[in-house]
Amino acid sequence: MPSSPDPHDRQSSRAQAEATLTQSPSNSPAQGSETPETRRLLHELHVHQVELELQNEELRRANNALDASRARYVDLYDLAPVGYCSVNEAGLIVQANLTLANMLGEAHSRFAGKLPFTNVVFQPDRDNWYLLRKLLLESGTPQTCELRLRQVNTGVQGGDSATVWVELSVTLAQDETGQRLLHIAVNDINERKTTELALRQSGELISLFLKYTPVHTFIKEVTSTESRVLGASDSFQQMIGLEGKDMVGKTMAQLFPPEFAAKMSADDWTVVSRGKPVTLEEDLNGRSYTTIKFPIASAGRNLLAGFSMDITERKNEQDALRKQNAELTLFNTAAVDRELVMIGLKQEVNALSRQLGLVAPYEVDFADTQSKVPP
């Protein structure tokens, strides 16, 4: 039922019409032989006519403003960076913006009450959609979830077609007939999910590496006073009796003897503060290690990574070889000295034989003579 006009608005409209007639005498009725009553009626007619014209002009301005506002709304809706759509209780998409159509690679006209929203949800994720819709209709409380939407024109319905990860934010509303509608904001999170997947796969690879590498590998966060383990290989079980996962979060003082821990922390700070790698030789619990440490660039954090290799067997072999070389050198020196003594004796015997007029019994060649002089 139309509402009655506001008397105040009616008076204002009439006053404006009266003012227009006063300012434009040509709009006033001509004075003639009319009776006062006729002139009054003619004046009322003119006032009403001007009033209608003013109202029509105001209506045109309001319509123009409404059209401009509607155009701005359409632009904002269609060109928004987020996909929007409305779904009726039957599950059909009754309205969608261009962003969503482009996201799914679908013609915009297909969304005018013809396409079930379920059809664009990737088959393995449809249970998530059904649960969200059920909760929303039962509680009326806005719901959110993450799932994959299927790009409609890239594969068989429900099949393994191209997908895009999105976050749905869904609210309950009513259309002009009182029917319930689901208003859905569709935010593209595909890049974030791709990054998360890559990080997860990278983390799994690092975990496998730390689990099976025979080298004692570590990552630490370092301050001027302490170093704390962020990750370590399980091979530390052989060094200190702890697997890598049991070392995470612990400082050097909690893992190693005090003097060794203090030196290790100081070395760590030297690496991150100078920004240069170092190579160290360390001894712990009767074993020898070569350790290489290097800084890792990270905004706002001093990180360090490195690895220690057990060189005990190699060092023992080197020590044994040095000992053998020393013994061999000693033996060779003794043998040469003995040979020089024998040559000297032969020469003395030869000299005495010649003095007695006898033939020298020994042949002493030039090489034997030269060998009398130690090298």
DSSP letters along 86-144, please?
A: EEETTSEEEEE-HHHHHHHT--GGGGTT-EEHHHHB-GGGHHHHHHHHHHHHHH---EE
pLDDT tens digit string along 163-197?
A: 999 999 999 999 888 899 999 999 999 999 989 98
The whole-number average pLDDT for the span 45-58 is: 76
214-310 CATH choice from 3.40.50.1110, 3.30.420.40, 3.30.450.20, 3.10.580.10: 3.30.450.20
| CA–CA distances in Å: residue 101 to residues 83, 95, 105, 335 | 8, 11, 6, 96
CATH fourth-level superfamily of 83-188: PAS domain (3.30.450.20)
User: Is residue 182 a contact partner of residue 133, using CB atoms and an 8 Å limit?
Assistant: yes
Q: Fold identical between 83-188 and 214-310?
A: yes
pLDDT tens digit string along 75-133?
A: 677 888 899 999 998 899 998 998 998 888 888 777 777 789 999 999 999 999 999 99
Tokens of 147: 């799932």
| CA–CA distances in Å: residue 350 to residues 197, 339, 343, 369 | 94, 17, 11, 13
| CA–CA distances in Å: residue 237 to residues 244, 272, 368 | 8, 26, 62
Q: What is the per-residue pLDDT for 22?
A: 65
Domain ranges of the chain: 83-188, 214-310, 325-370
Spatial distance between the Cα atoms of 86 and 88, rounded to a whole number of angstroms:
7
Main-chain phi, psi angles of 337, to 5 degrees: -60, -40
Tokens of 190: 């595909």
Spatial distance between the Cα atoms of 227 and 263, rounded to a whole number of angstroms:
11
pTM of the model: 0.54
User: Is residue 252 a contact partner of residue 265, using CB atoms and an 8 Å limit?
Assistant: yes
Residue 279 vs residue 367, higher pLDDT: 279
